[in-house]
Amino acid sequence: MQSTMNDLPLSIAQILRYGSTVHADAEVITWTDSGPRHRTYGEVGRRAAQLAHALRDLGVTGDQRVATFMWNNAEHLETYLTVPAMGAVLHTLNIRLFPEQIVYVANHAEDRVIIVDPTLIPLLAPVLPEIKTVEHVVVTGDSTAGLEVPDGVGLHTYEGLLAGRPETFEWPDVDERSGAAMCYTSGTTGDPKGVVYSHRSIYLHSMQLCSSSGPNLRQGDLALAIVPQFHAMSWGLPYAAFMIGASLLMPDRFLQPEPIATMITALRPNFGAAVPTIWQGLNQYLAARPTDISSLREVLVGGAAVPPALMQSFENDHGVTILHAWGMTETSPLGSVARPPAAAEGDERWRYRYTQGRFPVQVEARLVDDAGTILPNDGAAVGEVEVRGPWVTSSYYGVDAADKFSDDWLRTGDVGSITPDGYLVLSDRTKDVIKSGGEWISSVDLENAVMGHPDVLEAAVIAIPDEKWDERPLVAVVLRDGSTATMADLRDFLSDKFAKWQLPENWTLIPEVPKTSVGKFDKKRLRAEFREGAFDVTHL
Ligand code: AMP
């Protein structure tokens, strides 16, 4: 039997229309060097229409890509809503990628227009001539000072483009399964891979952000969205906030503990989202400069495991609940959220809260061992986590990556167990990337580069814990007999191949890299040896 229900497609245009009228008084507040800059969702709606007219005039039609190279701010929110609502595809460029990767992803996505913040011009300008598909560059604000564009590329100010345009726009009907936005994962090996979110996936994911068993974003909240809009869609907060009528506090480029503490005191947000390093930095700052951050009801923390000590400190010292969550760019990114079952009490609640969280009904998860056998979700069996669901990707854009999927299940590369009541506990990663300050450093890329040095026989890179950045790389090197290269020489050798923040400062010489039974580097063993203090580590 066919249902009798209406098939109205789920779309970003609906979220835009609804948020800008029903929640017209909610606000996006952007932090600037002279304090907060306020804009209502009503104004955002009118400016979105103006931006849509402007982009059409620049020739943006169909599913063409409009890229952003921006901090979290009101203009980025406008772009988030406008580009998909007009049927085009938003591509959020990660400003922290190495220049070659920025060039690769922009060309791969075929970005036509790039919208850039003035403060990010120095990062974009050097790579712009290499981006072959770009036709227009738009600088937010009212000046293009400091930016020269290649011949044939249009240069505009954002405010100049919007000025005088109609404040309404005939948002087209779009297929809910069509692409709305795309993000590239930082490649662990090889080039970054693109994930394309649909209108439907973003809509459903936004509803999950507002679910009481999920992050529970509520109407009237003020959400401090520190998680970048250029990384995993700011965890979906911009769309969810517009949908539910929560206001947004956008920190722009002010991501250091001091301005974060200042904006919390000044504007009293009651919800927040960021990777653990941000909260750890804030916690350290608060220890020296006590500040009341208790306006925060809950903060959503994921992207890397949250240290229990941090959760305890936030709760006990500041009255703020950390809500631990797990996800990936590939999962929109919200996978599991560690809200304990209602019946749990006392220490039991904490045990649940330390986990990576409970999967919602929409995200199915299973564990698979090396031989491909599906393991029970019994809280004991450990295997690679595979997930599927309406906001989980089932391919990558324009590349064949069949090894990342098993039928329609995404192989996450994360290893752990799942309890019968649906909580994920991660124990390791199959990919050995280093998560430094919420960003990836590929151990394989570092190894390959170090092993490119003529004096190096072998090199293996593992993640080691770091107070400030969560993790940093440790390079374990085997030198060739008779070599005179120093570790400083090796680091210099890498300096033109990696971004500065990716360059490893921790080095150790070892006689041989331990190997697994199939001859691969045994990083598990290396990590264990490091923990046992077997290495003499040099800090450069
Ligand atoms: P990204 O796509 O950059 O967001 O990175 C996704 C990866 O981050 C996952 O596959 C995990 O390895 C890691 N990750 C995310 N959340 C957590 C968490 N709560 N605990 C441990 N690792 C996490």
CA-CA distance, 147 to 135, in Å (whole number)? Answer: 15
The predicted pLDDT at position 518 comes to: 40
CA-CA distance, 190 to 358, in Å (whole number)? Answer: 32
- Helix, strand or coil for residue 435? strand
| Closest among 466, 479, 469, 464 to 513, alpha carbons compared | 479
Cβ-in-10-Å burial (0-12, 13-18, 19+) of 477 comes to buried
Cα 393 to chain center, whole Å?
15
Q: Rounded to the nearest 5 degrees, what angle is found at the Cα of 314, between the Cα atoms of 308 and 320?
A: 125
Q: Of residues 71, 235, 279, 440, which has the active-site annotation?
A: 440
- Indicate the length of the chain as a whole number: 540
Count how many Cα atoms sit within 13 Å of the Cα of residue 357 in the half-sphere of its side chain. 26
| Closest among 259, 79, 258 to 249, alpha carbons compared | 259
- Helix, strand or coil for residue 82? helix
Residue having the nearest C-alpha atom to atom 15 of ligand 1 = 303
Two structure tokens written together for 399: 């590349």
The predicted pLDDT at position 276 comes to: 82
CA-CA distance, 68 to 88, in Å (whole number)? Answer: 13
Please report where in the chains the tokens 């007009």 appear, as a residue.
Answer: 86
Q: Of residues 30, 68, 79, 185, which has the active-site annotation?
A: 185
CA dihedral 261, 465, 317, 308 (to 10 degrees): 130
What strand order describes the sheet that includes 136-139? 154-157, 136-139, 111-116, 65-69, 89-92, 179-185, 193-198
* Ligand 1 center to 214 CA (angstroms): 17
What are the DSSP E strand ranges found in 328-430? 334-337, 357-358, 364-368, 374-375, 383-388, 405-406, 409-418, 423-429
Count helices and strands (H / E) in the chain. 15, 28
Q: Which atom of ligand 1 is nearest to the CA of 429?
A: 12
* Ligand 1 center to 213 CA (angstroms): 20
Residue type, 469: W
Q: For residue 282, report the phi and psi dihedrals to the nearest 5 degrees.
A: -65, -40
The predicted pLDDT at position 466 comes to: 94
One digit per residue, pLDDT tens: the chain, 540 residues?
999 999 999 999 999 999 999 999 999 999 999 999 999 999 999 999 999 999 999 999 999 999 999 999 999 999 999 999 999 999 999 998 889 999 999 999 999 999 999 999 999 999 999 999 999 999 999 999 999 999 999 999 999 999 999 999 999 999 999 999 999 986 545 688 999 999 999 999 999 999 999 999 999 999 999 999 999 999 999 999 999 999 999 999 999 999 999 999 999 999 999 988 889 889 989 989 999 999 999 999 998 778 787 899 999 999 999 999 999 999 999 999 999 999 999 999 999 999 999 999 999 999 998 789 999 999 999 889 999 999 999 999 999 999 999 999 999 998 889 999 999 998 656 667 788 887 778 786 788 789 889 898 889 999 999 999 999 999 999 998 889 999 999 999 999 989 999 999 999 999 988 875 344 578 888 999 999 999 999 999
CA-CA distance, 281 to 276, in Å (whole number)? Answer: 9
Q: For residue 164, report the phi and psi dihedrals to the nearest 5 degrees.
A: 80, 0
CA-CA distance, 391 to 240, in Å (whole number)? Answer: 14
| Ligand 1 pocket by Cβ (under 6 Å) | 185, 232, 302-305, 324, 326-329, 333, 356, 412-414, 426, 429
Please report where in the chains the tokens 């041989």 appear, as a residue.
Answer: 512
**pLDDT single digits (tens) 312-349:** 999 999 999 999 999 999 999 999 999 999 999 999 99
Active site residue 329: no
For residues 250 and 73, the answer to whether their CB atoms sit within 8 Å is: yes
Q: Which of 183, 328, 355 to mutate to test the pocket of ligand 1 (most atoms within 8 A of CB)?
A: 328
* Those residues with Cβ within 8 angstroms of residue 124's Cβ, 6 or more apart along the chain or in another chain: 69, 114, 116, 137, 147
State how far the alpha carbon of 104 is from the alpha carbons of 107, 233, 495, 501, in Å.
5, 20, 20, 20
Active site residue 440: yes
Phi-psi category of residue 57: left, alpha or beta, with phi > 0 → left and psi -120 to 50 → alpha: alpha
Pairing of strands 136-139, 247-250: unpaired
CA-CA distance, 321 to 166, in Å (whole number)? Answer: 44
Q: Which of 94, 306, 326 to mutate to test the pocket of ligand 1 (most atoms within 8 A of CB)?
A: 326
Mean pLDDT over the full length of the chain: 94
| Closest among 427, 324, 424, 306 to 364, alpha carbons compared | 424
CA-CA distance, 196 to 330, in Å (whole number)? Answer: 9
| Closest among 419, 236, 253, 396 to 330, alpha carbons compared | 396
- Domains detected in the chain: 12-207+230-253 (3.40.50.12780), 361-429 (2.30.38.10), 434-539 (3.30.300.30)
User: pTM of the full predicted structure?
Assistant: 0.84
* Ligand 1 center to 534 CA (angstroms): 28
For residues 103 and 69, the answer to whether their CB atoms sit within 8 Å is: no
Q: Of residues 279, 435, 447, 523, which has the active-site annotation?
A: 435
Q: Which of 323, 426, 432, 433 to mutate to test the pocket of ligand 1 (most atoms within 8 A of CB)?
A: 426
Residue having the nearest C-alpha atom to atom 9 of ligand 1 = 328
CA-CA distance, 506 to 461, in Å (whole number)? Answer: 10
Q: Of residues 330, 384, 386, 439, which has the active-site annotation?
A: 330
* Ligand 1 center to 327 CA (angstroms): 6
Please report where in the chains the tokens 């929640």 appear, as a residue.
Answer: 23
For residues 314 and 299, the answer to whether their CB atoms sit within 8 Å is: yes
Active site residue 458: no
Please report where in the chains the tokens 């010489």 appear, as a residue.
Answer: 509
The predicted pLDDT at position 472 comes to: 95
| Closest among 444, 485, 479 to 458, alpha carbons compared | 479
